[in-house]
Amino acid sequence: MAEQLWAPWRFDYVKKADETNRDGCIFVDLPAQDNDEENLILFRGKTAFIILNRYPYTSGHLMVAPYKHTADISDLSDIELLEIHQLVRDSMKWIKAVYHPNGFNVGLNVGAAGGAGIPSHLHWHIVPRWEGDTNFMTSIGNTRVIPEDLAISYRRLKEASRV
């Protein structure tokens, strides 16, 4: 018999993501709005931005995405690629200051076959990791437990970005 883990607060997030993905691309639509805190955008650069993942693997899971809507890395200029990597570096710095992880997973999933949840728009994941952070919920239940509310994560990382 399957076990159930109730997380009713997630419904609003899932519903919003479903509506956004059906109507457009979150990496285009959200930066076009003037509501960074609600949209979890931590930093806006000239060619790319940093956003807190609304469906994180761990607390502090960030993403860096170019403003340019593309699924092909060869569409990005050297300037865009440089800024993206600088923002990945800055993201790791802020996460270290706030969460003190033992390591990171940093990656780019290209295309649906490559594991991209939004295959039409390149985005880099920065995921903090801790020794022993895989527990029975992850190993047996195939479930992640995120101990911190997204609004709190946003405020803590936003503050770290100002230092």
Q: What is the mean pLDDT of the chain?
A: 84
What's at 127, amino acid-wise? V
Q: Please give the residue range of the domain that contains residue 36.
A: 10-161
Residue 103 is assigned to a structural domain of this protein: yes
The one-character DSSP state at 24 is S
Report residue 1's pLDDT band, with 50, 70 and 90 as the boundaries. very low
Residue 2 is assigned to a structural domain of this protein: no
Cα 31 from Cα 36, distance rounded (Å): 8
Q: How many helices (H) and strands (E) does the chain have?
A: 6, 5
The token pair at 85 is 């990597």
Is 90 exceeded by the pLDDT of residue 72? yes
Beta bridge partners of 109: none
Mean pLDDT of 90-118: 93
In the prediction, which pLDDT does 132 show? 72
Is 80 exceeded by the pLDDT of residue 42? yes
Residue 1 is assigned to a structural domain of this protein: no
Which residues does the annotation mark as catalytic? 123
What's at 154, amino acid-wise? Y
Share of the chain above pLDDT 70, in %: 77
Residue 58 is assigned to a structural domain of this protein: yes
CA separation, residue 161 to residues 44, 117, 120 (Å) = 11, 26, 28
Number of domains within the chain: 1
Cα 8 from Cα 59, distance rounded (Å): 18
In the prediction, which pLDDT does 150 show? 87
Cα 64 from Cα 46, distance rounded (Å): 13
- Beta carbons of 43 and 55 less than 8 angstroms apart: no
Residue 105 is assigned to a structural domain of this protein: yes
In the prediction, which pLDDT does 15 show? 55
Q: How many CB atoms lie within 10 A of CB 23?
A: 9
**For the chain, first and last CA: distance in Å?**
50
Residue 4 is assigned to a structural domain of this protein: no
Task: Give me the CATH number covering residue 94.
Answer: 3.30.428.10
In the prediction, which pLDDT does 115 show? 86
What is the value of pTM for the model shown? 0.80
Residue 52 is assigned to a structural domain of this protein: yes
Query: Which residue is listed with tokens 């270290």?
Result: 96
